[in-house]
Structure 1
Amino acid sequence: MSEFCASHHRRRENMHRHRLETAYDRIAQEYAERNHMVPPLIQMGSRFLSRLRPGTRVLDVGCGDGLHMAWMEAQGFQVTGIDLSTGMLAQARARGVQGKLVQMDMCHLAFPPASFEGIWCCASLLHLPKAQAPMALDQLHRVLVPRGMLYLSIQEGEGEQWEVTRFAEVERFFARYTSQEAKALLSQAGFSLDECHRDEAGPRQWISFLAKVAE
């Protein structure tokens, strides 16, 4: 890649990141007020945590208002939360989570290799352009221990675009994947698929994956 192309790519990546961060800063309080743990998410969360040793380290990628982080902490796990939005991180602090909260981009994780036994990535990868998904999954793989466990949820579909959803009158970016697309990305990043489940939440179909670092 030429220096000009690389510079252009970085500018586009930074613009996307800033636009998404601003969107979630604007809706942070409303999001926290309306967010709750739905039964399918509790079931998948319990399956994810059951694959980890009690009390081990978990990274919540795109932790948002800290709802999932607080739930995992209540199960006895040491959870670190990262998010692009400082507004969302403020909501997580207000929720009273105990773990470390850091503003961070999932494509550039500032953690040493093998820092976590588990990664919870719920409705976060879908906010990245598809071109950045392999980089993000490579980063998740890097910071997991051997045989570490990943939970990943995405919206099923095709394409990618900025759009206003029913949740809030703010444009957010969504990249949607077919099951085969997501499975291929996980495999290419070095993950071995354990489980795949579909659930409806609102007007969209969601797919959840449990995958571990392949041996």
Structure 2
Amino acid sequence: MADEQTGVGQAYDAVAELYATMFTGELASRDDELALIGELIAAPPVAVGKLPVGDLGCGPGEATALLGGLGIRAFGLDLSAGMLAQASRLRPAETFVRGSLLALPFADASLGAILARYSLIHLPPAELPYAFAELRRVLAPGGRLLLGFFAADPTLGDTDRPVPFDHKVTTAHRWPVDALAALLPAARLTETARTVRLPGPGERYPQATLLAEARS
């Protein structure tokens, strides 16, 4: 794993138990994201081909369990051994593995869909193209990728570039949605939907999603 990725994993190790407690049930109230997750798993390689769905950057595994509860094959992956320990403790019926988004331990075209919810935010911006290429490598043609991330905030002077900020665990970036979407075509990923919403209670920045499909 790259040094930056190793450091991120260690930072999450230190807060894994607290994180698992604080964010329990958080996804259940996100109707916009839940609708997109429905579109994610409707991808033909999942719905027809029965390929698995990876929750990459799974943390304590809440989204992994949600995916599994929808009747599909799902697993979680995370850098943090501490987070994976919490995920296995809280959701023992699910499968969890350790790995980096920059070197995924999966064969080419082996996944039908990927959920990457706030898991790319800690990567240095220059590494995003490599991460997208790796995500595309493991996606089957027609598979889908759903990203969740912090969006740029024009009220803070954000323009067209990612901006680092003091995330409570370790440095993260908020991204202009157009700038992040512009990285997809080089990895043979085509945007099919996006959402942007204002910060909710307890949130500092706008929140965004991008849904993309893997081209042949």
Q: Shorter-chain TM-score category? A: 0.7 to 0.9
Gaps of 5+ in 2: 153-160
Matched, 1:195 2:189: no
Q: How many residues were matched structurally?
A: 198
Q: Report which of the two has the higher share of helix.
A: 1
Which structure carries more relative contact order (alpha carbon 8 Å, separation 6+)? Answer: 2
TM (norm. structure 1) is 0.85
1:83-98 matched pairs, under 5 angstroms: 83-98=78-93
Q: Per the alignment, do residues 164 and 195 of structure 1 end up closer, same or farther by CA in structure 2, a change over 3 Å counting? A: closer
C-alpha contact (below 8 Å) 2:164/2:174 kept by paired residues: no
Q: Report which of the two has the higher share of strand.
A: 1
1:1-215 matched pairs, under 5 angstroms: 13-14=2-3, 16-35=4-23, 36-37=26-27, 38-39=29-30, 40-51=32-43, 52-53=46-47, 56-157=51-152, 158-161=161-164, 163-165=166-168, 170=169, 172-200=170-198, 201=200, 202-215=203-216
CA RMSD of aligned residues (A): 1.8
* Over 4 Å off, 4+ runs: none
Quote the offset at 1:56 in angstroms.
Answer: 3.7
C-alpha contact (below 8 Å) 1:69/1:97 kept by paired residues: no
Distance 1:90 1:132 in 2: 27
Identity %: 27
3-state SS, counterpart of residue 124 of structure 1: coil
Gaps of 5+ in 1: 1-9
TM (norm. structure 2) is 0.84
